[in-house]
C-alpha cells in the first residue's frame, strides 16, 4: 500500500526541540510536502535553536539563518540569487514564528506579499514569544497568561487577525494548517509548491512549555483547536475560500482551554464570551 504521506524524511530526530513541540512536527510535514528541492530561511525563532548548533543541522535541505524582522526579505533574495545561478527548481520557504510574523516581521512580509514574490512564507504560530521565554505577541489569544501578561485575566487584547492582513495582499495562495490534520497539512505544502507567486501557510503550533500543557496533548490540542472552531482549516486560492475540514458539531471551547494552564485564570464569564464569539464567527 502506498502511504498517503511521503516516506522520505528530510528532518532528522537530532533537533533540540522540547518534548511535544508542534513546530518540529510541522516542519517534518512541511518538508514531506515540499521535497528535497527546498531552501529554508529562518529568522530568530524557536527554530533558530532547535535546528541545531553549527556545524550540525537537523534539516536535509539548505538553511539560511537571518535577522528577526527579515525572513520574507531574505527569502526573496535567496530566490533571486538562485535564479541568477540558473536554479529555477528550488523552492524557497521562509519559516517564522508568530513574533517574527505578526509583529517584527510584518513589514517585510507585507512587502514580499505586495510584490507577489515567488516564495512560500510559513508562520508556525505558538501564540507568544516562546524562544525568549513566553512573552505576549500579536498572536497571543485574549485571556492567555504570558510572562508579560501575568495579571488576572491574562492578555487583554484579542489575537491579531493575521489571516485578514495577509489576504488583503491579493496573493495567489493562502492556507491554514495544524499537525493533527497531517494529510491536510502535507497536501497544502504540496499544493503551495505547485503555485507560482507569494504563498502563505498559517500553522497553529501547540507549545507545551508556553501553553502549560502536557507534551502528550499537543496533537490533541491541535485537533481540539479545529473541533472547537477556534482555528479554522481553510485555503484561499485565486480569491476563493474553501473550508477544508468542516466541523459538523463544534465542541465547547472549554475542552480546549482546560488542557492549558495559560487559561487557568479565565473566569466562566470570559469563557462564555469566547464561546459566543466563536459561535458568532461560524454563523456569519
Partner 1 sequence: MKKVLMGNHAAAVGAALARAQVVAAYPITPQTQSIELLAEMKEKGAFPGAYIAVESEHSAMAALLGAASAGARTFTATSSHGLAYMHELLHWVAGARLPVVMAEVNRALAAPWSLWTDQTDSLSQRDTGWLQFYCSTNQEILDTTIMAYKIAEAVRLPAMVVYDGFTLSHSYEPVEVPAQDAVDAFLPAYRPEQVLDTARPLAFGALVPPKEYLRLRRSMAADMARAETLIEEVGREFGEAFGRCYGVFDAYRCEDATTLLVTSGAVGSTARAAVDALRERGLAAGNLRIRAFRPFPAQALRRFLGRGVKLAVVDRNYSPGASGIFAQEIRAALYPATARPPVFGYVAGLGGGDITVELLQEIWSKVDEGKAEKTQPTWAEDAR
Which residues lie near partner 1 (CB under 8 A)?
A: 36-39, 41, 48-49, 51-57, 59-67, 69-70, 72-85, 87, 90, 107-108, 110-111, 114-115, 117
Q: How far is the CB of 13 from partner 1 (least distance, A)?
A: 17
Q: How far is the CB of 218 from partner 1 (least distance, A)?
A: 24
Measured from the CB atom, is 87 or 279 closer to partner 1? 87
Count CB atoms within 10 A of the CB of residue 134: 25
Measured from the CB atom, is 118 or 235 closer to partner 1? 118
Q: How far is the CB of 73 from partner 1 (least distance, A)?
A: 3
Measured from the CB atom, is 68 or 234 closer to partner 1? 68
Q: How far is the CB of 284 from partner 1 (least distance, A)?
A: 32
Q: How far apart are CA 195 and CA 197, in angstroms?
A: 7
Measured from the CB atom, is 38 or 137 closer to partner 1? 38
Would you say 33 and 187 are in contact if contact means Cβ atoms under 8 Å apart? Answer: yes
Amino acid at each position: 500500500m502506498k502511504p498517503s504521506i511521503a516516506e522520505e524524511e528530510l528532518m532528522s530526530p537530532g533537533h533540540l526541540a522540547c518534548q511535544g513541540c508542534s513546530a518540529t512536527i510541522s516542519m517534518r510535514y512541511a518538508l514531506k510536502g515540499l521535497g528535497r528541492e527546498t531552501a529554508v530561511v529562518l529568522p530568530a525563532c524557536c527554530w533558530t535553536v532547535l535546528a541545531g548548533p553549527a556545524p550540525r543541522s537537523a534539516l536535509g535541505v539548505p538553511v539560511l539563518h537571518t535577522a528577526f524582522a527579515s525572513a520574507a526579505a531574505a527569502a526573496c533574495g535567496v530566490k533571486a540569487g538562485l535564479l541568477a545561478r540558473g536554479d529555477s527548481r528550488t523552492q524557497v520557504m521562509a519559516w517564522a514564528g508568530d513574533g517574527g510574523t505578526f509583529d517584527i516581521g510584518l513589514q517585510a512580509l507585507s512587502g514580499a506579499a505586495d510584490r507577489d514574490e515567488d516564495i512560500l512564507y510559513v508562520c508556525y504560530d505558538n501564540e507568544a514569544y516562546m524562544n525568549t521565554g513566553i512573552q505576549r505577541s500579536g498572536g497571543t489569544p485574549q485571556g492567555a497568561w504570558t510572562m508579560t501578561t501575568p495579571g488576572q485575566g491574562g492578555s487583554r487584547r484579542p489575537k491579531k487577525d493575521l489571516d485578514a492582513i495577509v489576504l488583503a495582499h491579493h496573493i495567489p495562495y493562502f492556507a491554514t494548517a495544524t499537525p493533527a490534520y497531517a494529510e491536510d497539512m502535507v497536501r497544502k505544502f504540496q499544493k503551495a509548491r505547485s503555485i507560482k507567486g507569494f504563498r502563505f501557510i498559517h500553522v497553529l503550533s501547540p507549545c507545551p512549555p508556553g501553553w502549560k500543557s502536557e507534551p502528550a496533548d499537543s496533537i490533541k490540542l491541535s485537533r481540539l483547536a479545529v473541533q472547537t472552531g477556534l482555528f479554522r482549516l481553510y485555503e484561499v486560492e485565486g480569491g476563493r475560500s474553501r473550508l477544508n475540514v468542516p466541523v459538523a458539531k463544534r465542541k465547547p471551547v472549554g475542552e480546549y482551554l482546560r488542557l492549558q494552564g495559560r487559561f487557568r485564570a479565565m473566569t466562566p464569564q470570559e469563557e462564555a464570551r469566547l464561546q459566543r464569539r466563536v459561535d458568532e464567527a461560524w454563523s456569519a
